[in-house]
C-alpha cells in the first residue's frame, strides 16, 4: 500500500446509473493501479433530494461490479458536529456573514455582495456565506489541464443553506480532509466546484488533493445522465458488460475477449492496464 487515498462520493438521490459507474470505476482504477486505498462516502446531507433505499442500492451495485472499498463507509448525515466546527473556525476568522437575500433577488448570477457588510435589520438571515475575496483560483487537473476562475465570477458562496442544511462544498472539503484523500477523481461537471473547494481548503488549513475530472456520460439530448432526471439504473444482472462499456468510455481499449469475462477478471486487467492519459478531455457540460 502507498499513501494514496482515493474516494467515490455518491449522493443517494437515486440508484447508480452508467454515468456514476464510470466515475466510480475511474476513481477505483486510479487508486488501485497505484496500490492505493479507495473509500466510499455517502453524501446524504440533502434529505429532500434523497430517495429511500438509494444508499444501500448504490453500495450493492458497487459490490456487484466488484468495486470493493477499504474502511467503513462514511455517511455525511452523521457528521454535523464536524461541519459545525469548521463553520465555527471560519466564523472566528471573520470569513462568514449572514445573508438575507432570496434566490429570486439574486436571479442566479454570482453573489453581488449585498449583505457582505451587514444585512438589512428588518429582514431575517437566511443563509451563511463565505467571503471569497479577489484574484484567481487555479489548479492543474490531471485530465482537463489548467483550470482557473476569477473569484468575482464565483462570488461569496453559501456554506449553510436557508433550510439549515450544510452546503455541498463545506461538507466535501471537511470530509476529504478528514479521510486524508490525496486525489479526487470525479465527473467533469464538478470541475469548476473545485475552485470553491480549494478556497475552503486554504482557509481551513487543509492540504489540497490532486484532481482529475473524467468526462461525463450524456444522454441523446446532450444532457448529463443524472439520478434526478431518472437515468436508467445500471443492469446489475450484467456487471461485466457495464464494466466493459465503462472502460471503453474511459478510452482504455479493453481486450475483446474480456466481454465474456467475470467482473474480477475485467478489473484485474483494468488495474494492470489503466492509463489515465487515455481518458478523453471533455469540457464542462452545459
Ligand atoms: N456527491 C456528488 C455527486 O454525487 C459528488 C461529489 C464529489 O465527488 O465531490 O454528484
Domain ranges, ordered by start, for the chain: 5-278
DSSP class per residue in 111-157: ---TTTT---TTS---EEEE---SSEEEEEETTTEEEEEEHHHH-S-
Q: Cell numbers of 49, please?
A: 433530494
The atom of ligand 1 lying closest to the CA of 186 is 8
Residue 286: pLDDT band with limits 50, 70, 90 = very low
The closest of 266, 281, 225 to 25, measured between CA atoms, is 266
DSSP-derived 3-state class of residue 33: coil
117 class by beta-carbon count within 10 Å (0-12 exposed, 13-18 middle, 19+ buried)? exposed
Q: Which residues line ligand 1 (CB under 6 A)?
A: 9-11, 43, 172, 186, 190
What's this model's pTM, rounded to 2 decimal places? 0.94
Is the Cβ–Cβ distance between 151 and 200 less than 8 Å?
no
| % of residues, the chain, pLDDT over 90 | 82
What does the pLDDT look like over 22-80, one tens digit per residue?
A: 999 999 999 999 999 999 999 999 999 999 999 999 999 999 999 999 999 999 999 99
Q: Cell numbers of 105, please?
A: 433577488
Confidence check: pLDDT of 285 > 70: no
Computed over every residue of the chain, the mean pLDDT equals 93
Residue 220: pLDDT band with limits 50, 70, 90 = confident
| 5-278 under CATH 2.40.30.110, yes or no | no
Is the Cβ–Cβ distance between 91 and 160 less than 8 Å?
no
**Which pLDDT score is estimated for 223?**
83
Q: How far is the CA of 11 from the centre of ligand 1 (A)?
A: 6
**Which pLDDT score is estimated for 232?**
77
Q: How far is the CA of 171 from the centre of ligand 1 (A)?
A: 11
Confidence check: pLDDT of 81 > 60: yes
Amino acid at each position: 500500500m502507498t499513501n494514496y487515498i482515493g474516494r467515490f462520493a455518491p449522493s443517494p438521490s437515486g440508484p447508480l446509473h452508467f454515468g456514476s459507474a464510470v466515475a466510480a470505476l475511474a476513481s477505483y482504477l486510479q487508486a488501485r493501479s497505484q496500490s492505493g486505498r479507495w473509500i466510499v462516502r455517502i453524501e446524504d446531507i440533502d434529505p429532500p433530494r434523497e430517495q429511500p433505499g438509494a444508499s444501500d442500492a448504490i453500495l450493492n451495485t458497487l459490490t456487484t461490479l466488484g468495486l470493493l472499498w477499504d474502511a467503513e463507509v462514511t455517511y455525511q448525515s452523521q457528521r454535523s458536529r464536524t461541519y459545525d466546527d469548521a463553520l465555527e473556525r471560519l466564523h472566528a476568522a471573520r470569513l462568514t456573514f449572514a445573508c438575507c437575500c432570496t434566490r429570486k433577488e439574486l436571479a442566479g448570477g454570482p453573489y453581488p455582495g449585498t449583505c457582505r457588510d451587514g444585512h438589512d435589520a428588518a429582514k431575517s438571515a437566511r443563509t451563511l456565506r463565505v467571503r471569497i475575496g479577489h484574484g484567481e483560483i487555479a489548479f492543474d487537473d490531471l485530465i482537463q489541464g489548467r483550470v482557473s476562475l476569477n473569484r468575482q465570477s464565483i462570488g461569496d458562496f453559501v456554506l449553510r443553506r436557508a433550510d439549515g442544511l450544510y452546503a455541498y462544498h463545506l461538507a466535501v472539503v471537511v470530509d476529504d480532509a478528514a479521510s486524508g484523500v490525496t486525489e479526487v477523481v470525479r465527473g467533469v461537471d464538478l470541475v469548476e466546484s473545485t475552485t470553491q473547494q480549494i478556497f475552503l481548503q486554504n482557509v481551513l488549513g487543509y492540504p489540497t488533493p490532486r484532481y482529475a475530472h473524467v468526462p461525463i456520460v450524456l444522454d441523446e439530448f446532450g444532457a448529463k445522465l443524472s439520478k434526478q432526471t431518472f437515468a436508467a439504473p445500471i443492469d446489475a444482472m450484467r456487471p461485466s458488460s457495464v464494466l466493459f462499456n465503462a472502460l471503453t468510455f474511459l478510452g482504455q481499449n479493453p481486450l475483446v475477449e474480456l466481454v465474456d469475462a467475470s467482473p474480477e477478471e475485467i478489473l484485474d486487467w483494468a488495474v494492470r492496464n489503466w492509463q489515465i492519459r487515455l481518458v478523453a478531455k471533455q469540457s464542462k457540460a452545459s
